[in-house]
């Protein structure tokens, strides 16, 4: 799949996209990432991308022309399944939406800054508005990285152990069970006996019970 990101701060993405799972997804050819600098699409001689809000009020607003020009150019090159705007007033992101997005071919992610973008961009182009939580970030970039990471790791073939993404927290609506590795005894703190028993059926029952118990205790809202 291909993801185009529109941002005023493209270099924010460089580190994140060149490490770990995202890097692997790109190197293996499962994911194509393109970051576009919105400022490159400004026709203003000072390369302005923001202006004062009509009607007054605090903060600057990202102007319609540069964003529109960038979106139009990309749309003329290929069809997009989703054009996403990262915003604190968007729909709260979850695993289900990550799964859905991971099946798309081309998506665009627009990162806002300042007080937001001219509302007409939302009306004209945006198909999905996504928030990563009820708090305000200084821009959509970090939120966009969250989305890209959550998508990259579930594209089939990206993770070595293919079952790994399927047993994540949230994939079956429950939190993950606790995990342990060597040593089996750390200064008297022992790994649960059942995990050392070799009894597959019992181990998988234990894991499920742990998932239920954890979810009940930590995130009862998931069981509603």
Binding site for ligand ADE (CB under 6 A): 86-88, 131-133, 135-137, 140, 143
CB of 209 to ligand ADE, least distance (A): 35
Question: Nearer to ligand ADE by C-beta: 98 or 137?
Answer: 137
Question: Nearer to ligand ADE by C-beta: 22 or 143?
Answer: 143
Question: Nearer to ligand ADE by C-beta: 97 or 167?
Answer: 97
CB of 26 to ligand ADE, least distance (A): 23
CB of 146 to ligand ADE, least distance (A): 8
DSSP string, the chain: -EEEEEES-GGGGHHHHTSHHHHHHHHTTS-EEEEEEGGGG--STT---EEPPTT--SS-EE-HHHHHHHHHHHHHHS--SEEEEEEEEEEEP-HHHHHHHHT-SEEEEEEPBTT-B-HHHHHHT-SEEEESSSS--SBSHHHHHHHHHHHHTTSTTSSSSTTTGGGSTTTTSSPPPP---S-SEETTEEPPGGGGS--HHHHHHHHHHHHHHHHHHH-GGGG-
CB of 88 to ligand ADE, least distance (A): 4
Question: Nearer to ligand ADE by C-beta: 132 or 159?
Answer: 132
């Amino acid at each position: 799949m291909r993801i185009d990101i529109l941002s005023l701060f493209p270099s924010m993405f460089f580190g994140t996209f060149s490490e770990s799972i995202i890097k692997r997804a790109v190197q293996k050819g499962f994911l194509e990432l393109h970051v576009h600098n919105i400022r490159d699409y400004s026709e203003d001689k000072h390369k302005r991308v923001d202006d004062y809000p009509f009607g007054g009020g605090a903060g600057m607003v990202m102007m319609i022309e540069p964003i529109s020009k960038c979106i139009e150019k990309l749309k003329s090159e290929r069809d997009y399944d989703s054009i996403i705007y990262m915003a604190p007033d968007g729909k709260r992101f979850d695993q289900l939406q990550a799964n859905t997005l991971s099946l798309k071919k081309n998506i665009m992610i627009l990162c806002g800054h300042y007080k937001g973008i001219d509302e007409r961009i939302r009306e004209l182009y945006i198909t999905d508005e996504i928030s990563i939580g009820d708090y305000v970030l200084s821009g959509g970039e970090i939120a966009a990285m969250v989305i890209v990471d959550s998508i990259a790791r579930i594209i089939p073939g990206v993770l070595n152990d293919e079952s790994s993404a399927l047993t994540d927290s949230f994939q079956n609506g429950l939190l993950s069970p606790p995990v342990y590795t060597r040593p089996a005894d750390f200064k008297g703190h022992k790994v649960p006996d059942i995990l050392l028993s070799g009894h597959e059926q019992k181990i998988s029952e234990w894991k499920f019970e742990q998932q239920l118990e954890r979810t009940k205790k930590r995130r009862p809202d998931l069981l509603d």
